[in-house]
């Protein structure tokens, strides 16, 4: 917490190389997940909703997956995840100290880890949105400015 998030470069489902450092100046939500994880499956629609709602304000969601069956991951993600799904993240799972999934890391516009959450349960989506709005700043309230 409070430290710069370790950078990485991974391939997405479309074969593009994506680095965390590509998103300097944006708020990044890292989601460590798997296709077989029940709580992960429940959290994904919330991540998708948050991404859709806030991407134009600077939110980036990256789903990190370490499953060897890329076709299975791609099939799972199709139609559910419009944000980037990154493959072969075994090293990142270790580097970020992932012991349970889903695990979310909230990274501010300066690249610092501000929050970390392990697991998902109903009702947590409100906390997720509150943290994202805080990191995005006052413009994320979706209300007209009085300036």
Helices (H), the chain: 38-54, 70-77, 90-95, 124-136
Residue 113 lies inside a defined structural domain of this protein: no
Residue 92 lies inside a defined structural domain of this protein: yes
Is 70 exceeded by the pLDDT of residue 140?
no
For 73, phi then psi, to 5°, come to -65, -45
Kindly report, residue by residue over 65-103, the tens digit of the pLDDT: 999 999 999 999 999 999 999 999 999 999 999 999 999
When pLDDT is cut at 50, 70 and 90, the band that residue 124 belongs to is confident
The helix/strand/coil state of 132 is helix
- Of residues 27 and 139, more confidently modeled: 27
Number of domains in the chain: 1
Residue 4 lies inside a defined structural domain of this protein: no
**What CA–CA distance (Å, rounded) separates 100 from 12?**
22
State the residue range of the domain holding 86. 25-51+67-103
pTM, entire model = 0.92
- Candidates 13, 34, 37, 41; catalytic one: 37
Residue 123 lies inside a defined structural domain of this protein: no
When pLDDT is cut at 50, 70 and 90, the band that residue 143 belongs to is very low
Phi-psi group of 83: left, alpha or beta (phi > 0 → left; psi -120 to 50 → alpha; rest → beta): beta
Residue 38 lies inside a defined structural domain of this protein: yes
Active site residue 40: no
């Amino acid at each position: 917490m409070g430290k710069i998030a370790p950078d990485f470069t991974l391939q997405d489902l479309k074969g593009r190389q994506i680095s965390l450092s590509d998103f300097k100046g944006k708020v990044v939500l890292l989601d460590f997940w798997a296709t077989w994880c029940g709580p992960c499956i429940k959290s994904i629609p919330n991540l998708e909703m948050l991404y859709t709602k806030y991407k134009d304000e600077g939110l980036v969601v990256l789903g990190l997956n370490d499953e060897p069956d890329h076709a299975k991951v791609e099939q799972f993600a199709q139609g559910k995840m419009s944000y980037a799904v990154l493959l072969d993240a075994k090293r990142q799972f270790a580097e970020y100290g992932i012991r349970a999934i889903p695990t979310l890391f909230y990274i501010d516009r300066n690249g610092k880890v501000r929050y970390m959450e392990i697991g998902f349960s109903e009702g947590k989506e409100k906390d997720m949105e509150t943290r994202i709005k805080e990191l995005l700043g006052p413009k994320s309230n979706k209300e007209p400015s009085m300036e």
